[in-house]
Amino acid sequence: MKVKARQARIISPTGYYHVMMRGNNREKIFIKEDQKRYLTELLRIASLEEPIEAVAYCLMDNHMHIVVKGEIEDLSQAIKKINIKYAMKYNKDTKRIGHVFQDRYRSEAVIDDKYYFHTY
């Protein structure tokens, strides 16, 4: 059986990335408002621990978009911390086990002002 290698993330020339994360099987990842507040708090903490800056975010019931400025390695570390902490609390609070997020997070390099303003 041939294993497909992960595609390398594209380095943004602007330093901005559009990050997307979706619930496993497109299920809701935010059932209550306090879960959205917890995620935004994790994002705030991650930006203190890693040299990244979240410049915009949009949290929907089953997915989220975040625009982040920073180096790709720092972004990866921050998102990893956020996903693990959020998934652990979500699973505990909802008395479930398993993956909360579908696959690894998606990120697209924001290559110009047109894309940047499109994310808003």
Answer yes or no: is 58 within a domain: yes
- Please give the Cα distance from 77 to 63 (Å, whole number): 20
CB count in 10 Å sphere of residue 75: 24
101 contacts 38 by C-beta, under 8 angstroms: no
Report which residue type is found at 6: R
Please indicate, yes or no, if residue 81 is contained in any of the structural domains.
yes
In the chain, the number of structural domains is: 1
Per-residue pLDDT tens digits of the chain, which is 120 residues long: 666 667 788 899 999 999 999 999 999 999 999 999 999 999 999 999 999 999 999 999 999 999 999 999 999 999 999 999 999 999 999 999 999 999 999 999 999 888 777 776
In whole angstroms, give the CA distance from residue 116 to residue 18: 8
Whole-number pLDDT of residue 35: 98
Assign residue 88 the CATH number of its domain. Answer: 3.30.70.1290
Query: How many Cα atoms are found within 13 Å in the side-chain-facing hemisphere of 6?
Result: 7
At 41, the amino acid letter reads E
Is 12 part of any domain?
no
Residues 43, 114: Cα–Cα separation, whole Å: 25
In a domain, 43, yes or no: yes
Range of the domain at 47: 18-118
- 7, part of any domain: no
Classify residue 13: in a domain, yes or no.
no
Residue pair 119/109 in contact (Cβ under 8 Å)? The answer is no
